[in-house]
Structures are given as C-alpha cells and as structure tokens.
Structure 1
Amino acid sequence: MQYDWKEWMLPVNGRPVKVYIHEIILSYSRKKYYCSSLSITTADIIRAIASAIEYFGGIAEEIVIDNPRQMVIAHNNNGVIRYNDEFLRFCGLYGIDTVPCRPYRARTKGKVERPFYYIQEHLLKGLEVEGIARFDGLLYDFTERYNKRTHSDLGESPEERFMRDEKPLLRPIPEVEPAEIFPKEIRSVTNDGYISWAGALYPVPMKHCLRQVKIETLFGKTLKVYSMDGSIIAEHDIRVSDRHKRPVHPEHEQLNREYRERKGAYRSETLKRFKEAFKQQGEVFIEGLKKTVSANMYWHIEEILKLTEIYTAEDITAAMKECIECDSYHKNSIKRLLKSKTPGEPLIENINNPCIARSINITRPLSAYRVMEKEVLA
C-alpha cells in the first residue's frame, strides 16, 4: 500500500480554495482510493488512510510513504528514522509497517506519483464546483470509474485483480477505539454560547456556557463538538470564507423571536388602551407621534396613559386636542398643559418648549429609577 497527497487550487463558488487530495493505492492490483481535505494535519492523513482501509475492506502489511513532517519528523541518511508520535500510534494500533522513501527519492513510490497526473488530466483541470460536498461526490465517482476501467499494464481492471488475488490476502480490520486514534482538543465555551476554532466562532447549546468541551475536525471540513463525557452536542461545516462573521446562535434566535412576540403583543395592547381612552383624538395624536418621535413612540404613549392616574380622560383629551391644533406631539406638551393651564386658557409657550426642565429641587426614592419590563419592551 502506498500513500501520498497533492495540493490543488479548486474554484469553489468562483473563489479559489486550496484542496488536498489524498491517494492510497494497493501496489499489486492498482486499486485506488481518493479523498480530499481542506487541511493537511497528521489527523487528516490518518483519517484518509483509515478511510482507505475501510474502502478496501482489509489492511495491507506495509505502507510506503514520503517524509512529510506530519508522518516523519526526521529521516537521516544513515537510516535513522524518527516518526510523528500520532502517526506511529495509528500504525501500531493497525499493525502496519511503515516504509518511508529515502530522502529526495520520491520515485520509490512511483505507483502513486504517476497516477496524480491521470486525475489531474481527467478530473481536476478546468473543474469548478458549487461546494466541497459536490467535489467529494465527483471524486468518489472518479475513483469508482478508475477502479473498474481496464488497466493498460494489467490487461484487466484493478477491481477484478483486487477481488481475485489481493483481497483474500488483506488482514482483517482490528476493532480500535476511535479516541485512541483521533484525540480531541479541549475548548472553553464563552458566556454567550460560542467556541472559537481557526479564527471563527461556532455556536454550541447554551447549557454548556462557561464549560469545557472537546472538539475534533474531519478533513478540515466538519467540526464536531462533544461534551466532556463524550456525547456529541454540535456539528458544523467549517467555514472556508467569511470567518470573521459571527453566526446567529439558534437559541439566541429563539429568544429574540419570543422577545419580538412579547414586544408586538405589548405594543398592540398599548395602542388599544390608548385609543379606547382618548377615542378619535387619540388616533390623530398617534399619527402625529409616528411622524415626530417614531423611535420611542410607545414610550410617549405609555407616559400619557400614566397621566390617567392623576387626571381624567376628558381633561387629557382636551389637552391633546390643543396639542394637535398647535402641531405639538410630545408627552411633555400634554403634561405641561395639564399642570399649567387655567380653564379655557391654553399656555402656548409651554407647548412649544416641551423639553425645558423646571428648576425645582426634586427628591425621589431610588425605586423611582427602577426600569420596568414594559418600559424596556417599549
């Protein structure tokens, strides 16, 4: 069995994305397995080889590899080889002997080097896709076609040669605990329900806020999030662009939706009370508020309704009518008319200066500054 990868700039939705194409080939039958990743970590290589083993349905005795740092830390000319610990643990668990090429002698695994030319000419050149999932589908179809076509050197298809001569010689796949092969990283969840990975934020259930979770990535495409007891709690497609954007948290959206519903119901009820209390004058005043103080119209309406605790609805309606005649739509206009007017004599100068504060020393209890929920909703 031989392994190698190739980088390729693939246009995805019109934007070039660096894709790593993994190739594993069985030396005798030439049967191959292709998969792709958006990163090239040791875990990505291990997943690619493990996926190939599942695809072949068994394990070959050895694997011929190059000398990248993801697998080989050092390979001296005197034959001393230092392997990456993670890769060596994987090979040990699966019982695979590793055969690194001599440094600068990649032709040792020519069965892999040359077929990359074939996939480049027959699939990659000129290819544009709408998404990575679409590319993975095309890559799988290409693999199936390649394995079933007649090989020019063999005189038969790799699939026929594999099923007849090679598959019976493969060793069974051992039952290995995935956690032993793919160790997970630990991340802390923020107080608003996000974790950070590779410069991007991803939401997790709010009940895990300020707790630690475990994460793992699959080929740089998928991010899986687990609780500390090992149960999966979230899964996301890794964003290859717009990483700086903050995604909307699903639970935040639910809370926002509930808030908007309460807010809408509160405003409808407030308008209904206002119109019932002040009839036609109230409807005209509302239209005036929409034009002048639309941003906090409902706060003005609520403040005017509070005046009914002190004044009669008839007095407030009369003051409102005078405000409408003066084209002054503000809750302070009505309040000052009610406080300052003498019967039959509106004080127009007070109406036109609704926001001038009186120079009076006022002492209030602190409870007067408590924000009520209905004021926030307004």
Structure 2
Amino acid sequence: MLKWEEQMDIKFLVGQGHSIRQVAKLSGHARNTVRSVIRPRENQPQRESRGRKSKLTDFKEYLRARYLETGLSGVRLCEEIAAMGFTGSVSAVRRFLQTIEKGGISPKATVRFETPPGEQAQVDWAEIGYFLDENGIKRKIYAFLMVLSFSRMLFIEFVTDISTETLIACHQKAFAYFGGYTRRILYDNMKQVRLSQTEWNPLFQDFLGHYGIIGNTHRPYRARTKGKVERAVLYLRDSFIKGRAFENLADLQTQCLVWQETVANCRVHATTREKPSELFKSEQLISLRQVAEYRLVSKASRKVSAEGFVHFAGSRYSVAPQAVGKTVLIEQDEQLLRVKSDDLIIAEHQVSARKNADVIDPEHLTEMWKLSLGKTPVPNSRKLQVMFNDEVAMTPLQRYEEVIG
C-alpha cells in the first residue's frame, strides 16, 4: 500500500494535468497503482471501529478545522489540544492529520522533485543583520545563497546591497566557486530578476542569455517551490550566524568560507543522506571554459568639473586638466572605472570601496598644480591684458600755489 505522501504526489501530478501514463513515469509507480489512487472504489463498506474510545475522539473536529485553516504541524496542534485536556501522543495526532484532505490535497502538500545532475540551481537573498561602517553609518548585510539542487552544494556571499549588478557579480563568484553552472536557475519574484509577472529585468535577462541559462521563478506565494535554498537560509542562520561575532564584513566572509568548506558542504544532508561534497563529484555542470566571461559594465556621462574631477557613484575621480569642462563617458566594471573622451581612455582608476572618496591620479594632480602656478598656459583660456597710456599728464606747480594762496 502506498504511503500518504506518495498518494499526495500522484494526486498533485494529476491536478497539474498529467495523464496516467505520465504520472506513472514521473512517480515510478505502475499505471494500475496510479488508477487506484485517483479512482478509489465507491461505496466501499467502512469497517466499524470496536473497542474502547480513542483519546483523540473528542478533539478530532477541532483538529480538522484548525489544520485546514492553518496547516500547522502535528507537534503544534498536539500542544494546543494538550492544553484542552488531551493526554495522548503526538504520533496519534499525526496519524489523524494524514487522513485529512482538502480537495484531495493537504493544504501544505508540496511535491519534492529530485533534479538530475547539472540541471538546476536555486538562488535567494537573506537579510542577516547590520554593521557600522568607518563613518558610523548603519548598513544592512545581505547573504546571497546558491544551492545546486542535485548535490545540495552551497555557495554564500555577503554584500551590502541587492542591486541587479550585485546579483550578477554574486552569480559570477558562485560559478567560479563551482567551476561551472547549471542549465536552469530558480528564483523568487525579486525585482532584480522580474519587473512584473510578464516582464523580466532586461539587464539580468542579458546576463542569463549570455550563458544560455534558463531562468525560472516560482509561482507567487509559493516559496516552497524552491525549498532547497529556503532551508539553506534557515541552516545558515542556525548553524553559522547565531552565537558568532565578526570584526567586519571581510571577517564575516572569511569565517563563512571556512564554515562552508568544513561544515555545510561536508555534512551528511538530511534529505539525500549524502555529503554535498561527495555528490558534487557527480554534478554535470557546464564548464566556464565554454563561454567568455560576462563583463558587467555600468555606463554614464558626466561633465568634468573645474577642479578636474568627475562625480560617479558617490565619489570623485580625477582626470587630466585638459578635459575640464568636457562631457565624458564613464564605464565601470567590478574593479575598474574608465573615463573616455572621443572613444579614448583619458583616465583609469580602481573603484572606490566607500562613498564620498576622492580618487586621484598623482599625474593629474601635478598637471593641475602646474596650471595653477602659471607654468603652463591653460588650454583655450582667455588672457587678461592691462594697457597703460605712454603719455602721463603733468600739472605745473604754479597751479597748486594759486589754489592754496
């Protein structure tokens, strides 16, 4: 006889529109077994219970209504009826809950599909806490998590923003860590991925298209569809975050990498009964060597100030004084910021790790000082000329004596 969970799986697949043949193939059961689940015998005589009254009898109506309303676990419901006088075990409550159906499917029924190697990964954000930066400003900390669905191999990166650019950068770090990527990736309906139910974020869609990855999002209010990464978030909080102290964001990332390598990916997983690091050897990821690296470049136009700076992302970057007053193009990737004028790179800087910073090339500063001291004429500058008449008017002394006298 099939277990309750197996019957729920079959009914769920039928509800999704699959034929009996397809359900049999997906579930691994014979077609006659599938038919027996979805076409139960009608008018089957019910066996009358004999013997003494069950301890649960007086609480069944309450349990049925409460379970269908909330979907609470057997443990929680057992605690509630224990306060009402129930003296039985939680096992009895669980057995009774298995007999409750709502439209043939439990309100919390979720079919777990184990994906083949290299087929799918799941991604999510998690807000972890906050820290005070060097200026005493409180900043939130987010964790990016990617889980390979087959092996449960886990990658974590901590960041201070959840922009689309940051999401793409985290994906690239995860791909580098795993040495490849899956054919599909499952997300929730975050705006960095989807702008609406019918429109994808164009920048993120461009990133996925570069690697040929098929992106999927779960149905609204159906987060359990990507339960692998949801459980990884809970595991991260309970096993790593709680009870630990970190000096700064870099220390948090370093400690997490050690935990990730020595604990998270080396433990025996509760579902697969295997170590993720061992199953990972059978993952069939697409190699990064098969495609060029995706270059994430932010572009913007700026006017060079009179001081010889361009403002970008909250900081100032120096350029040569010859560009003062010109409108230039700024391109920024993960590490470098380039300033272009007429398709020529006129300045290049490391991207500042903090805002309100002045990033200065010493050569630009030297040239600006030379101009300020007048040793080099300012390009296209207007010269101020002061002219004097050659003849100077002379007043006779007699004129002054007449005025005095």
Q: TM-score, normalised by structure 1?
A: 0.56
Once the two structures are superposed, the pairs formed by residues 80-159 of structure 1 within 5 Å of their partners are: 81-125=198-242, 129-145=246-262, 146-159=264-277
Counterpart position of 1:234: 349
Aligned-pair CA distance for 1:199: 3.7
Summarize the Cα distance change of 1:216–1:127 in structure 2 as closer, same or farther, 3 Å threshold: farther
Q: What amino acid is aligned across from residue 206 of structure 2 in structure 1?
A: R
The answer to whether structure 1 residue 53 and structure 2 residue 170 are counterparts is: no
Counterpart position of 1:361: none
Counterpart position of 1:354: none
Asked whether the 8 Å contact 2:153–2:280 carries over to 1, the reply is yes
Counterpart position of 2:184: 62
Summarize the Cα distance change of 1:15–1:30 in structure 2 as closer, same or farther, 3 Å threshold: same
Match of 2:166 among 44, 51, 71: 44
Once the two structures are superposed, the pairs formed by residues 313-352 of structure 1 within 5 Å of their partners are: none
Aligned-pair CA distance for 1:186: 3.6
Aligned-pair CA distance for 1:84: 1.1
> Could you tell me how far apart the structure 1 residues matched to 2:330 and 2:129 are?
31
Asked whether the 8 Å contact 2:301–2:329 carries over to 1, the reply is yes
SS in 1 for 2:157: strand
Once the two structures are superposed, the pairs formed by residues 1-378 of structure 1 within 5 Å of their partners are: 1-12=121-132, 16-75=138-197, 81-125=198-242, 129-145=246-262, 146-163=264-281, 165-166=282-283, 169-173=284-288, 174-176=290-292, 178-179=294-295, 181-204=296-319, 209=324, 210-216=326-332, 218=334, 224-227=337-340, 228-229=343-344, 233-239=348-354, 243=356, 247=358, 249=360, 251=362, 255=366
Asked whether the 8 Å contact 2:297–2:333 carries over to 1, the reply is no
Aligned-pair CA distance for 1:4: 0.7
Q: Which has the higher helix share?
A: 1
Aligned-pair CA distance for 1:203: 3.9
> Could you tell me how far apart the structure 2 residues matched to 1:212 and 1:102 are?
44
Unpaired runs of 5+ residues, structure 2, are 1-120, 374-386, 390-405
SS in 2 for 1:55: helix
Unpaired runs of 5+ residues, structure 1, are 76-80, 263-363, 367-378
Q: What amino acid is aligned across from residue 6 of structure 1 in structure 2?
A: A
Q: TM-score, normalised by structure 2?
A: 0.53
> Could you tell me how far apart the structure 2 residues matched to 1:21 and 1:112 are?
12
> Could you tell me how far apart the structure 2 residues matched to 1:127 and 1:188 are?
47
Aligned-pair CA distance for 1:47: 1.6
Summarize the Cα distance change of 1:235–1:61 in structure 2 as closer, same or farther, 3 Å threshold: same
Summarize the Cα distance change of 1:95–1:253 in structure 2 as closer, same or farther, 3 Å threshold: closer
Asked whether the 8 Å contact 1:8–1:21 carries over to 2, the reply is yes
Q: What amino acid is aligned across from residue 5 of structure 1 in structure 2?
A: W
User: Which protein, 1 or 2, shows the higher relative CO under an 8 Å CA cutoff with sep ≥ 6?
Assistant: 1
SS in 1 for 2:286: coil
Counterpart position of 1:358: none
Q: What amino acid is aligned across from residue 157 of structure 1 in structure 2?
A: K
> Could you tell me how far apart the structure 2 residues matched to 1:62 and 1:187 are?
39
Q: What amino acid is aligned across from residue 272 of structure 2 in structure 1?
A: L
> Could you tell me how far apart the structure 2 residues matched to 1:131 and 1:205 are?
36
Aligned-pair CA distance for 1:107: 1.3
> Could you tell me how far apart the structure 2 residues matched to 1:112 and 1:90 are?
21
> Could you tell me how far apart the structure 1 residues matched to 2:303 and 2:353 are?
18
Cα root mean square deviation, aligned: 3.4
> Could you tell me how far apart the structure 1 residues matched to 2:319 and 2:252 are?
28
Counterpart position of 1:369: none
- The count of residues paired between Structure 1 and Structure 2 equals 248
Aligned-pair CA distance for 1:3: 0.6
Asked whether the 8 Å contact 1:205–1:233 carries over to 2, the reply is no
SS in 2 for 1:114: helix
> Could you tell me how far apart the structure 1 residues matched to 2:302 and 2:245 are?
35
> Could you tell me how far apart the structure 2 residues matched to 1:119 and 1:128 are?
15
Summarize the Cα distance change of 1:131–1:197 in structure 2 as closer, same or farther, 3 Å threshold: farther
> Could you tell me how far apart the structure 2 residues matched to 1:187 and 1:37 are?
27
Aligned-pair CA distance for 1:23: 0.6
Aligned-pair CA distance for 1:211: 5.0
Counterpart position of 1:335: none
> Could you tell me how far apart the structure 1 residues matched to 2:319 and 2:240 are?
38
